[in-house]
Structure 1
Amino acid sequence: MKTNAYPASLISAAIVAASMALAGAAHAGTDTIAINEQNFSQAETAKNFRNWAARGANKGISHMDRLPPRGDKAPTIQMNDDTLYSVVITEVDDKGQVTFTIPETDVYMAVQVVNEGGHGQHYIVEDGTHTVSVDSKHAFLIYRSGTEQGLEVARAAQQLIPDDSFIFGTYEVKPYDYDEVQQWVEKYRAETRDYVLEYTFPSSAADITDLHQWNLENANGWGGASPVANVANKYTNSLFMDGETCYQTTFADPKSRYFTSVTPYDTGRYLMEGVKNVNSHTWQKNQDGSITVSFNCGDDAPNNIDTKGERFSFTMRYYGVSQDVIDGKIAPTRNVVKGS
């Protein structure tokens, strides 16, 4: 007789899902919106809107004029350590559009436009005034100002960003159960501890081909862009690694149009106190033109990052990603080995 046998891992996952469904049902009749697989990414997006609204991004441009805070004081997980952030929460106009300006500066500057579903609908790097369509009532604009010439130059660039095209003050924080959102975040992050996570960041709801994958991406690195060769960015997370062990990854030059960065994060996907990243503005190349990045291998190791004994993963970011990276021909997160 044929029987249906299910692995213990699937049974466990089913129990977790059932318990979350019951928890969601318990919220029925309250003023908060319960969380499920279908609305998780919208709720995680609302959480980030909420966090930045608390910093004033709903009233005017919120300039973060220093590198992001370490640990969970950061308003968004897995923030980069290479640019300064300026964030706007604006209502779209009566045509469903938002207009913004990228001023002429001496540093890298880009604007990413995120809708209320969490989709980075546009990623623009050209100077000038731009008008784009957004398929939600409000838009979240992320300005990134490069620190390649130092923090003071990046801060000066931030101050050139005009705000006269935005409709401020109308966004209201959505009543999701944010404690429950965090429970789902932790569940999804636990899934990704032991494999490399490649981000796809579909630019609209219609582009989602795997809802579970989309939720994993938002739980581990909300606010990314769809990889578009030579324009937008690509992101990849490594496995988690022991903070007391030497690791290295060697790879061909990714040849990002703007720059490439390698940034470590703690197990909560936050930056770590006293831990720096490495990027292509300053990294040292090997004689053959390849790059080796080391972790916890000592000061004499090439491009060494000391995680201070803390368990970590690292994220590759390619600003203006090359086609070779998109095609998987260059994959530093998959080439990690224990060093000597």
Structure 2
Amino acid sequence: MKKTILLAAAAAVTATVAHAESITVTEENFPQAYTNLRFAAIIEKAGGINTFLKMPVPSSDPAEQFVVRMNRDTAYSTSVFDVSSREVYITIPETDKYVTTQIIDENHETQRMIYGPGRYNITAKTDFAFVIVRTLDPDLRDNLVVEAPEPQEFIIQDWEEASFEEIEVKGNADFSDGYHQATAYSNVESGQTSYMNYVGAAGGWGGAMVLDNIYQTSPYFDADACYETTFVDPEAEYFWSATVYNADGYMFNDVANVSSEMDPEQNADGTFTLRFGCAGMPNNIPTVEGNTTGKFNVLMRHYGPSQMVSDGEYGYNMTQFIRKVE
């Protein structure tokens, strides 16, 4: 399926498609299918394995976004590494700004994030792993150092297209209806379940563990109205951000998020009010322009969640307070 992801024949690129019979995609193997295709696409964009791609700001065109529920909170560099040698190292240069390194293997299992500058040995359970560096220091990405042996060939499996798309749509809908982050974005040792791994991959491939980031998701709302939510400062260790997506899980406007890093207007009592579809009002994210689905929802991200957020204390989930403004 999706033959456009296949890599051109070039010396720097080491990936080929398997020529076996197409593999039917199920809930059980969807995380592996989606991950295999994402890895192939990343290798193509980067020009090879073990090569960092400095990701541009995600497009406002849903068709040009790499995966569902991308965001513009930080600058990114990504790569697929052959970690089978156990001799892969990445050096993150010095910075006083937020920077993390996350590792995701071929089964869509993830590890705790690595924080800050340093030289780190990159390992995973599988031969290949996706590495994403997130940072509030965009210039840092120009100075990432990779030490790695010559990579082996990456095999792109032939996933059956119709079953893939059917399972993807179902999983994305299940994600939007509610999922359990701790068992979706983690690893088997930390309690990840097969079903939640599937739902997490379909609804937000590459998510982080709850110890690092917490995601809070709203239900869907009709886009042609004004909504708002007022909430107390969640006191994230690093920062928080709220991003609006269409019914398919994609951003659709140049103004897609409000973040504590953007110095949003604060109320006199210290609370914040975010608005959705309320043109001309403070802290507003548009919901109609560019949205062809007629629906939207909001995903709140806590980077370094406070204990109140981690404990699920009342008042620390802004998505629960979104109401239509009459």
**TM class by smaller structure:** 0.7 to 0.9
Structure 2 vs 1, CA of residues 166 and 108 (structure 1 numbering), >3 Å: closer, same or farther?
Answer: farther
Partner Cα separation in structure 2 for residue 242 and residue 204 of structure 1 = 35
Identify the residue that residue 264 of structure 1 maps to in structure 2: 244
Matched-pair contact (CA < 8 Å) for 2:180–2:196: no
Residue 197 of structure 1 deviates from its aligned partner by 4.2
Number of positions where the alignment pairs a residue of Structure 1 with one of Structure 2: 299
Equivalent residue number for residue 319 of structure 1: 303
Aligned counterpart, 2:181: 199
Please say if 1:116 is aligned against 2:106: yes
Q: Distance between the aligned counterparts of 1:218 and 1:161, measured in 2?
A: 27
Superimposed CA distance per residue, residues 108-142 of structure 1 (whole angstroms, 9 cap, x where no aligned partner): 22111111111221311221112243111111001
- Tell whether the 8 Å contact from 1:99 to 1:131 is kept in structure 2 after alignment: yes
Aligned AA (1:91):
D
Specify which of 264, 269, 272 is matched with residue 288 of structure 1: 269
| Distance (whole Å) between structure 2 residues aligned to residue 267 and residue 246 of structure 1 | 17
Contact 1:92 1:167 in 2 (8 A): no
CA distance in 2, matches of 1:167, 1:199: 36
Is this contact kept in 2: 1:247–1:296, CA < 8 A? Answer: yes
Assess if the C-alpha contact under 8 Å between 1:114 and 1:122 holds in 2: no
C-alpha distance in 2 between matches for 1:167 and 1:269? 37
Equivalent residue, structure 2, for 1:332 = 318
Q: C-alpha distance in 2, partners of 1:289/1:166?
A: 52
RMSD over aligned CA atoms reads 2.3
Q: Alignment partner of 1:88: what SS?
A: strand
Corresponding residue of 1:135: 125
Residue in 2 that maps onto 1:177: 160
Counterparts of 2:153 and 2:203, CA distance in 1: 29
**1:299 aligned residue (267, 280, 296):** 280
Amino acid at match of 1:79: M
* Separation in structure 1 between the aligned mates of residue 256 and residue 149 of structure 2, nearest angstrom: 35
Aligned partners of 1:34 and 1:314: how far apart in 2?
A: 33
Do the aligned partners of 1:57 and 1:89 also contact (CA within 8 Å) in 2? no
* Conservation of the 8 A alpha-carbon contact between 1:57 and 1:87: no
Residue identity over aligned pairs, in percent, reads: 29
The change in CA–CA distance for 1:37 and 1:67 in structure 2 (over 3 A counts) is closer
| Contact 1:100/1:130, CA 8 A, preserved across alignment | yes
For 1:132 and 1:246, locate their aligned partners in 2 and report how far apart those are by CA, in whole Å.
46
Q: Which moved more, 1:84-93 or 1:55-64?
A: 55-64
Q: CA deviation at 1:167?
A: 5.0
State the AA in 2 paired with 1:306. P
2:81 — aligned with what? 90
Q: Deviations over 1:93-119 (max 9, x none)?
A: 434x64222211353221111111112
Which one-letter code corresponds to 2:299 in the other structure? T
The amino acid across from 1:85 in the alignment is Y
Q: Distance in 1 between matches of 2:256 and 2:248?
A: 17
Hey, what does 1:126 align to over in structure 2? 116
Q: More displaced, 308-317 or 108-117? A: 308-317
Partners of 1:209 and 1:145 in 2: CA distance: 26
Distance apart, 1:78 and its partner CA: 0.9
> 1:308-340 deviations in whole A, cap 9, x for unaligned?
253211111111111211111211112211123
Structure 1 residues 236 and 70, CA, compared in 2 at 3 Å: closer, same or farther? Answer: farther
Question: TM-score, with normalisation over the residues of structure 1?
Answer: 0.81
CA–CA distance in 1 between the matches of 2:150 and 2:231? 45
Whole-angstrom CA distance in 1 between matches of 2:141 and 2:192: 36
Residue 62 of structure 2 aligns with which residue?
71
| Distance in structure 2 (CA, Å) of the matches to 1:332 and 1:112 | 26
- Give the partner amino acid of 2:66: P
Runs (5+) with no aligned partner, structure 1: 1-28, 147-152
Instruction: Determine which of 253, 259, 263 is the counterpart of 1:273.
Output: 253
Give the letter aligned to residue 311 of structure 2: D
Please give the per-residue CA displacement for 1:268-302, whole angstroms capped at 9, x wherever unaligned: 211113333100012121111111111012312x3
| TM-score, structure 2 as length reference | 0.84
* Secondary structure in structure 1 of the residue aligned to 2:147: coil
TM-fit CA distance, 1:178: 4.2
Matched residue type, 1:111 = T
C-alpha distance in structure 2 between counterparts of 1:168 and 1:285, whole Å = 50
Whichever residue aligns with residue 321 of structure 2, its letter is N
Amino acid at match of 2:264: W
Moved more, 195-204 or 237-246: 195-204
- Amino acid aligned to 1:274: D
| DSSP-derived class of the 2:169 partner | helix
State the match for 1:100 in structure 2.
Answer: 90
Flag the 1:52–1:252 CA change in 2: closer, same or farther, 3 A: same
The structure with more radius of gyration: 1
Cα distance change, pair 167–125 in 1 and its aligned pair in 2 (3 A): farther
